[in-house]
Amino acid sequence: MSAPSTNALPYLPFTRPTIDDATIQGVTEVLRSGWITSGPNVKAFEAKLSEYCGGRPVRAFNSGTCTMEIALRIAGIGAGHEVITTPLSWVATSNVVLDVGAKPVFVDIDPVTRNLDLARVEAAITPATRAIIPVDLAGLPVDRDRLYALAKKHNLRVIEDAAQSFGSTWAGRRIGSCGDFVSFSFHANKNITTIEGGALVLNNEAEAKLAEQYRLQGVVRSGYDGMEVELVGGKFNLTDVAARVGLGQLPHLDEFTAQRRALARAYFELLDTPALRVSGLQLPVADFTQSNWHMFQVVLPEAKLQLKRADVMAQLHAAGIGSGVHYPAIHLFALYRRLGWKPGDFPHAEYAGRNILTLPLFPAMTRADVARVATALESIISANRVA
């Protein structure tokens, strides 16, 4: 995530995990224990996650992608069914729908929140619709009250793609503490990490048992030597090494979130300049209560900028600053074009997909780092703005 810089200042990546010495030592102890795959640390991590989610059943997995696929399978969703989701997300969100044999149905985003536009969802519901997968882009929660009212009205399951919103809240409640299925990711770029990994919050122990079966080849064990397989599962278990990293990360969540919010406030302050206001640079929603500020994303002013996004990113890189793209519009990938989608289907998502830019944001950053990014971005935009 970093690269050499010719500048006096060190290279500033768009994200970097913070892992303390106690966690590193804990991982060493796990490695020395000889029990490095799924074991007591996974159980302990699941217990802590369940506690965080208000006592709901939680099962840990090796990614935040398989969690959504397993939720769909537990919900009985497959061939002949449709699942409504957003075209502005990591492609895994819709790939899992294809994986279970169902059809993803995209609905455009709200250009302000950049989340699924719930006002457009009802028009996309058909007799084949079985579920909605909303995404909390950059950690900003989708309106849960409106979402679940819609799901209840049409008898739909909800699989919350909360990969980016661990630590966010809605109406004072932690994401994961209520609702239907909730899928978290603990990838290296997330607010807390297990290096690779994820978790699925479930509604009851029966669903949790099914999740365990899907997690490891459908196997059910009994006694010393009893084994049965009742369904086709996969190889999705989390390791004890990864779980120990997660156990070390969890106690720092509130601290990380507070620092992210402080850095986001600094971005709003330092990007509020006459030159950037005139340019039309779009900032995210200024939510300092509910969002965990997983990412700070701007949308570049396409019509007022002589450069393409890649050129802006190249100039930031030359200044020793990393950036990212989260995300291109899913329906414009070749796979999805072959399934019938085309440019112009979802104009808000397409505009964001062409112009969204993720700026550095992680707990080890300082206000001076934010100022460095803001100054560089303003300089690039001002020097290349259409007159």
Q: Which residues are identified as catalytic?
A: 190
Q: By CB neighbour count within 10 A (0-12 exposed, 13-18 middle, 19+ buried), where does 225 fall?
A: exposed
How many angstroms separate the CA atoms of 344 and 347, rounded? Answer: 5
Supply 281's token pair.
Answer: 């640079």
Residue 185 has phi, psi (to 5 degrees) of -120, 140
Helix, strand, coil share (%) of the chain residues, nearest 5: 40, 15, 40
How many angstroms separate the CA atoms of 239 and 60, rounded? Answer: 9
| Displacement of CA 22 from its chain's centroid (Å) | 27
Say if residues 124 and 99 touch (Cβ distance below 8 Å).
no
How many angstroms separate the CA atoms of 336 and 312, rounded? Answer: 28
How many angstroms separate the CA atoms of 109 and 107, rounded? Answer: 7
